[in-house]
Structure 1
């Protein structure tokens, strides 16, 4: 099957999974946000830091190593499987005993019991990682779709039930535990693979050798990425963190759906052509242009219509989240492009360079945070926009060296979508200020969105943009 045809076929199922799960998760979180308090979501965000670190340590970069290696056999999969379980149990025990320290640091007593119960997910998830990798390698994204939706529906339904019966923040914990348990069970039901009772030290060394740098990179990324959560939770309040957390989650909805869908499909496909730099560069360039063409207008709509969106979805009590949503959306527009540039290093097997870039970026983040923190909360959040731009330059450095696609070339390719979205967004913002804001919120959101997308599409067609041609060719090939 031709590469593009495989990509389109896989993208359909990945997008169905991503969109379906994101939509269900979004609706469930919307219901929970109307029942629970902002401080409940802030508390969840605090102990999610522990979970993020634990997940990185459990996987140890092994999943990426299995995906990129075309010569895996039964010993590879079984070795990684048993390593995941052993490391999950060990890390859970560590988390169990250090939980009181987190509660003491953030001065939230309930964190101790919340962390100890919630962290059981580490062990649950470790039983399903290898099966998930096999689905990805086989490009069997249809199974992921079948697995994800029931898990969300049952887990989320239970979470809503607990929230309505006064369980507060615990309803969010039970939601995740039930969802992940069903997710794991279904992986075993849908996968015919079963681990053998073997552990090959040579296989372990091979995957660990690649994975250790990926793990250090991911660990560094998680710790520094959560620096805002740590600062907001410690210096301000769980409520402020709750506003920030909901805004960040809403921002991620359009960006992650598009970015992760294409990333899941293209990573294994690009791995097949990684040695052909010309073909790799051309395919990579098309991906960059396509994702920015789709993401930039969605981000523009989110920024312009942030206030009515928050009011309609979460009610008036969440309106303080509006400025966070606008700023974080602006910072997030480059997120997919950053991620794809790093994929080049993974495909080329240069996890050492991946780690070096992560170290550089984390230094940048810490410097920006240190400089912006004295100027207050919003200076701190605006710093994320600067971090996003600088990270793009850092991430694209080796892309230019390996496949001759420099940051200058990338900016030239992406500039049209960014410029057009900015101009349309500014014009519609002015119109909204004088006319649309007096309308009902739903009508206002609809008018902003439709006007933005129609103008964006018409201008792109009139200028005969390559992105339109690419979308048409992908649809035609399907």
Structure 2
């Protein structure tokens, strides 16, 4: 199978896996949101920064190094496996004893016991990390689909049953742990890889030299991604954090999943062609255009129909989250482009530059966030929107130089799609207003009618305007 065929197959299965498992989780979360209180989601959101930092520390960028190393062998995989397993155990012990301090920071006593149970997820993640890495390296995304979706479904059922039984926030804790436990079991079932009793210092140093910079970059990015949660959780109520976390979670459903699914395929693919700058630029351009072509209209549609969407899915008690959601949807449009620009740095082995850029962006970010705290949650959200553009500019300058793909070129390649999506989105907003004021149509009907109008108009105009992304899609997928 050629690189092109493997990439197309990989993208389809990766998108299927990413969206399949996330859609299952999404619908489970919708059910849970109808049962549980916003503050109970807020309590789990308070842990997100510590869990994410822990995952970055645990991986230390070593799995990225394994993927980009074409001749990685059993010695390399076993060494990283034992490092992750030992590291996860140490990390769990640290969080176990630090739990009261975190609880005191948020002034939420219940967090102590939640952290001590939830943090077991680190050890479970370490147990299947290498199997997962090998599946990505070999582009076996169909297997990952067969792992993720059943695990998410069964874990979600447990969460709903516990919520209905009155377990409150603990239903979210046990759901996450049980889902990860099932993922661990399935990875060991579907993967032939088993660790050998090897820990090679030379191999560890090789991967750690590349990986620790990636890990530091990941920690910085994690702190940035969760700094809003930290600030809202510290200075506002758990209920407001619950609104924010739901708004962020739903707004990221298309953004993070399209980006993560394609990124999972493109990183090993980019690694194969890393020495051919012309081909790397050409492939990167097509990937960026495709992702924006599907990501932008979905986000803008959700922004245009936010109020009926939240009321229908989550009930009236979640309507205060609607303005947060709309801002986050707009902020997410350019987010996937960050990942592909950073992938260029990674496959070129420039983890030093990767780290440097993360430091620069986070310094700017922290200064900006501290400046807007007096303006409340909306100040934080509007800064998040503006900084997404700043971050894209910084990332694309350096990656663009490596493959001769400038910021200006990148923007002009995706701008027609964004403009078209926005124009149709404004039309949908007024269509919604007309439907509810003139005919008093219910929320579900409004959403369906708006979706049909948006989808038909967007695809029709894309064909008429002959956008590059729709042409490439028909050639690659539909063979037209």
Q: Which TM-score tier does this pair reach, normalised by the shorter chain? A: over 0.9
Once the two structures are TM-superposed, the CA of residue 356 in structure 1 deviates from its matched residue by 0.7
Q: Tell me the residue number matched to 2:228.
A: 228
Q: 1:64-463 alignment to 2 at 5 Å?
A: 64-436=64-436, 438-463=440-465
Deviation per CA, 1:156-175: give whole Å up to 9, x if none.
11111111111110110000
Q: Secondary structure at the match of 2:477?
A: helix
Structure 2 Cα separation of the partners of residues 314 and 476 of structure 1: 36
Whether contact under 8 Å (1:5, 1:474) holds in the other structure is no
Once the two structures are TM-superposed, the CA of residue 454 in structure 1 deviates from its matched residue by 1.3
Whether contact under 8 Å (1:309, 1:441) holds in the other structure is yes
Deviation per CA, 1:403-457: give whole Å up to 9, x if none.
0001110011011011111111122222322334531101111121111121111
> In terms of mean alpha carbon deviation, does 90-99 or 361-370 score higher?
361-370
Structure 2 Cα separation of the partners of residues 399 and 59 of structure 1: 24
Structure 2 Cα separation of the partners of residues 427 and 305 of structure 1: 11
Deviation per CA, 1:25-67: give whole Å up to 9, x if none.
0111111111100000000000122111111111111110000
Structure 1 Cα separation of the partners of residues 423 and 161 of structure 2: 45
Deviation per CA, 1:258-310: give whole Å up to 9, x if none.
21221111111111001000011001001111111111111110110000110
Structure 1 Cα separation of the partners of residues 460 and 131 of structure 2: 44
Structure 2 Cα separation of the partners of residues 45 and 465 of structure 1: 40
Whether contact under 8 Å (1:288, 1:337) holds in the other structure is yes
> In terms of mean alpha carbon deviation, does 396-405 or 199-208 score higher?
396-405
Q: Secondary structure at the match of 1:405?
A: coil
Q: Tell me the residue number matched to 2:60.
A: 60
Structure 1 runs of 4+ aligned residues shifted over 6 Å read none
Whether contact under 8 Å (2:79, 2:203) holds in the other structure is yes
Structure 1 Cα separation of the partners of residues 24 and 290 of structure 2: 26
Aligned length: 478
Q: Tell me the residue number matched to 1:475.
A: 477
Whether contact under 8 Å (2:33, 2:314) holds in the other structure is yes
Structure 2 Cα separation of the partners of residues 410 and 178 of structure 1: 42
With normalisation by structure 1, the TM-score equals 0.98
Whether contact under 8 Å (2:58, 2:88) holds in the other structure is yes
Structure 2 Cα separation of the partners of residues 3 and 187 of structure 1: 25
With normalisation by structure 2, the TM-score equals 0.98
Deviation per CA, 1:88-135: give whole Å up to 9, x if none.
011111111111000001000001110010000101110100000111
Once the two structures are TM-superposed, the CA of residue 477 in structure 1 deviates from its matched residue by 4.8
Once the two structures are TM-superposed, the CA of residue 199 in structure 1 deviates from its matched residue by 0.5
Whether contact under 8 Å (2:54, 2:122) holds in the other structure is yes
Whether contact under 8 Å (2:431, 2:450) holds in the other structure is no
Structure 2 Cα separation of the partners of residues 130 and 197 of structure 1: 15
Whether contact under 8 Å (2:341, 2:400) holds in the other structure is no
Once the two structures are TM-superposed, the CA of residue 153 in structure 1 deviates from its matched residue by 1.6
Structure 2 unaligned spans of 5+: none
| 1:466 paired to 2:458 | no
Whether contact under 8 Å (1:4, 1:474) holds in the other structure is no
> In terms of mean alpha carbon deviation, does 436-445 or 458-467 score higher?
436-445
Q: Secondary structure at the match of 1:217?
A: helix
